[in-house]
Structure 1
Amino acid sequence: MSALICGSMAYDTIMVFHDRFKNHILPEQVHILNVSFLVPELRREFGGCAGNIAYNLKLLGGDPRPMATVGKDFQPYAQWLSYCGIDQTYIRTVDESYTAQAYITTDMDDNQITAFHPGAMSFAHLNTVPTKRGIKLGIVAPDGKDGMVQHAEQFVQAGIPFIFDPGQGMPMFNGEELLHFVELADWITLNDYEAHLMQERTGLTPEQLAEKVSALIVTKGANGSLIYTEGKTLEIPPAKPKAVLDPTGCGDAFRAGLLYGLKEEFDWPTIGRIASLLGAIKVETAGTQNHTFTPSDFHDRYRENFGHGF
């Protein structure tokens, strides 16, 4: 049984500026800003929420089916997905567009300047959640706005339970629109900042949001996560990474862990720990799809971190 992952596929172009932005941006001159940064370090990574979640779920032994719209430049990414054994049935190419692109420049203080081109992602609404294809559950991750709304509604119509993960797409929605997702979703996952923003926009506390779904999962970075379910709040401890190199994509790895645990019908303490460990493994490697492990390795790391297996 597979998991349908609705979200973006993107190229991440990451550049490192060997200085500090503050040394070159004069506050009193920002109205005539014209700066150039020499970036001797550059790498291009495969990214996007759907791609990252699918990659991590595949490592766990799951059967991810990413559903996304991509552009005419997608071939290198398609070859990578084929190499990873990830199904591409529900990836649609929009020939007149480029695949979504993020251009990220980081300075020595870890400040970032990012330019994002949505490209083909804006056509996400052209995809439709399939029915009767052996799909057990799904996730609506950041994507084109219309696509996110339609896919949530289509999951309900198809009788497929799904996770709502607004992530970086949250600024696109007002309180009423977010409440519509809440009414449709089976589970919601947010980071700590997004949880505060969700409360501000909907007027609902985490406890009140949790009453409307089977579970609300709130990640708290190095402090673990909270799972609100059945009137209880479960505290999930963080897993310990062997090194901290790059947090980019940790949230997507965590969500892959949720999907895997839900598909296997584990209890919430186990699901939360699987997701926590997957995020910790990701942080050990630069880039969002460069870490690797075997299922046996993962089970060993789980025992090392939590003192028991699953």
Structure 2
Amino acid sequence: MSLLIAGSIATDHLMTFQGRFADSLVVEQLDKISLSFLVDGLEIRRGGVAPNICFGLGMLGLRPVLVGAAGEDFADYRSWLERHGVDCGSVHISSTQHTARFVCTTDSSQAQFASFYAGAMSEARNVELAPIAARVGEPDLVLVGADDPEAMQRHTEECRQRGYPFIADPSQQLAFSQGEPIRGLIDGATYLFSNEYESHMIEQKTGWSPDEVRARVGTQVTTLGKDGVRISGRDRETLEIPAVPGVRAVEPTGVGDAFRAGFLAALHWGVDLEQAAQVGCTLAAYVVETVGTQEYTFTRAGFVDRVREAYGDAAGDAIAPHLS
């Protein structure tokens, strides 16, 4: 299975605030907001939705193709990803801009304030998928994740024109997009990924009802945080899969990306959607227990054991041959 993962490539600057943002907000004065929070820690980590997903796929034994744009400061990051099984041969390198930056502060209730500097990401619109397919083979799936908006539109349209099955995963860009561009990113997708809040935003901005959204995509996968994931579609019964129990949450950044990686790896293995979601939830548990989006580790045997503990022997037996 050839997987092209398109999306932002960035460095994460992660900070923690021991209080609650909500305690400092005056609802009646939000139009005049001016706040500063004294943070206790700073972690500088590798990030960006596309590398995060690719890293997880590599940890599970696949070799995904990273599609995106970075700066000349990407050299060390490239080496890290390649050591973890990621094909970086099609990353566009800007000669003038730095790799994008994500700056995020998380409070004691896991609420977050974040800013994103695009930098070289703006050049992702210059990337064409066809030359990548000529190099690695026609893709079985192209994930179009949060990226330069023009790049997202271009990748999606190229997938339609060339017949590449694609996954719509607009996530963070939903807040900055209007209805027509969002409709263009979603219509005809094989899979649509979002969290629950984003699913409501999709409906609000597109004007589509939940049934109308599902009529335009093959399968809708909605993550529900600590409550797991919901899978629905035009011609399938809705599934609700619980999250891994007993998780000790440390930092939530990158959890959704890890879920996507686990889910896609399991699709590659040929297991059913319920088991794919269980693999996704298990990989997500490793990330939420770790600071940083690519700092988690596990043995493949240990991963299978964790699936067994969370979802039973049948779930573990289904994936064990693929991680032996």
TM-score by length of 1: 0.90
Instruction: Specify the alignment match of 1:55 in structure 2.
Output: 55
Instruction: Specify the alignment match of 2:78 in structure 1.
Output: 78
Q: Is the 8 A contact 1:241 1:280 kept in 2?
A: no
Residue 102 of structure 1 deviates from its aligned partner by: 1.6
Over 3 Å counting, the alpha-carbon distance change for 1:207 and 1:94 in structure 2 is same
Instruction: Specify the alignment match of 1:179 in structure 2.
Output: 183
Instruction: Specify the alignment match of 1:264 in structure 2.
Output: 269
Cα distance in structure 1, aligned partners of 2:176 and 2:21 = 28
Over 3 Å counting, the alpha-carbon distance change for 1:304 and 1:172 in structure 2 is same
Task: Return the structure number with greater helix share.
Answer: 2
- Secondary structure in structure 1 of the residue aligned to 2:230: strand
Instruction: Specify the alignment match of 2:208 in structure 1.
Output: 204
Instruction: Specify the alignment match of 2:168 in structure 1.
Output: 164
Cα distance in structure 2, aligned partners of 1:241 and 1:65 = 33
Residue 103 of structure 1 deviates from its aligned partner by: 2.0
Instruction: Specify the alignment match of 1:219 in structure 2.
Output: 223
Matched, 1:228 2:266: no
Single out whichever of 98-107 and 162-171 deviates more from structure 2: 98-107
Cα distance in structure 1, aligned partners of 2:118 and 2:246 = 32
Residue 201 of structure 1 deviates from its aligned partner by: 1.4
Residue 36 of structure 1 deviates from its aligned partner by: 5.9
Q: For 1:52-95, what per-residue CA distance to the aligned partner results, in whole angstroms no more than 9, with x for missing partners?
A: 00011111111111101001222221221133232111111101
- Secondary structure in structure 1 of the residue aligned to 2:140: strand
Matched, 1:301 2:303: no
Unaligned runs of 5+ in 1: none
Q: Is the 8 A contact 2:142 2:166 kept in 1?
A: yes
Over 3 Å counting, the alpha-carbon distance change for 1:198 and 1:41 in structure 2 is same
Unaligned runs of 5+ in 2: 319-324
Matched, 1:288 2:288: no
Q: Is the 8 A contact 2:145 2:169 kept in 1?
A: yes
Q: Is the 8 A contact 1:136 1:263 kept in 2?
A: no
Over 3 Å counting, the alpha-carbon distance change for 1:160 and 1:15 in structure 2 is same
**CA RMSD in angstroms, aligned pairs only:** 2.4
Written as runs of structure 1 = structure 2, the 5 A alignment for 1:243-262 is 243-262=248-267
Residue 291 of structure 1 deviates from its aligned partner by: 0.6
- Secondary structure in structure 2 of the residue aligned to 1:104: strand
Q: For 1:151-184, what per-residue CA distance to the aligned partner results, in whole angstroms no more than 9, with x for missing partners?
A: 1112223322121001001123222222222223
Cα distance in structure 1, aligned partners of 2:249 and 2:151 = 34
Cα distance in structure 2, aligned partners of 1:94 and 1:74 = 10
- Secondary structure in structure 1 of the residue aligned to 2:249: coil
Q: For 1:274-296, what per-residue CA distance to the aligned partner results, in whole angstroms no more than 9, with x for missing partners?
A: 11211122211111001112332
Q: Is the 8 A contact 1:206 1:228 kept in 2?
A: no
Residue 25 of structure 1 deviates from its aligned partner by: 8.4
- Secondary structure in structure 2 of the residue aligned to 1:240: coil
Q: 2:133 aligns with which of 131, 134, 157?
A: 131
Residue 199 of structure 1 deviates from its aligned partner by: 0.9
Cα distance in structure 1, aligned partners of 2:126 and 2:219 = 30
Matched, 1:99 2:103: no
Q: Is the 8 A contact 1:152 1:184 kept in 2?
A: no
Cα distance in structure 2, aligned partners of 1:111 and 1:275 = 22
Instruction: Specify the alignment match of 2:279 in structure 1.
Output: 274
Q: Is the 8 A contact 1:222 1:238 kept in 2?
A: yes
Amino acid at match of 2:56: N
Q: Is the 8 A contact 1:61 1:295 kept in 2?
A: no
Instruction: Specify the alignment match of 1:191 in structure 2.
Output: 195
Q: Is the 8 A contact 2:6 2:50 kept in 1?
A: yes
Amino acid at match of 2:88: Q
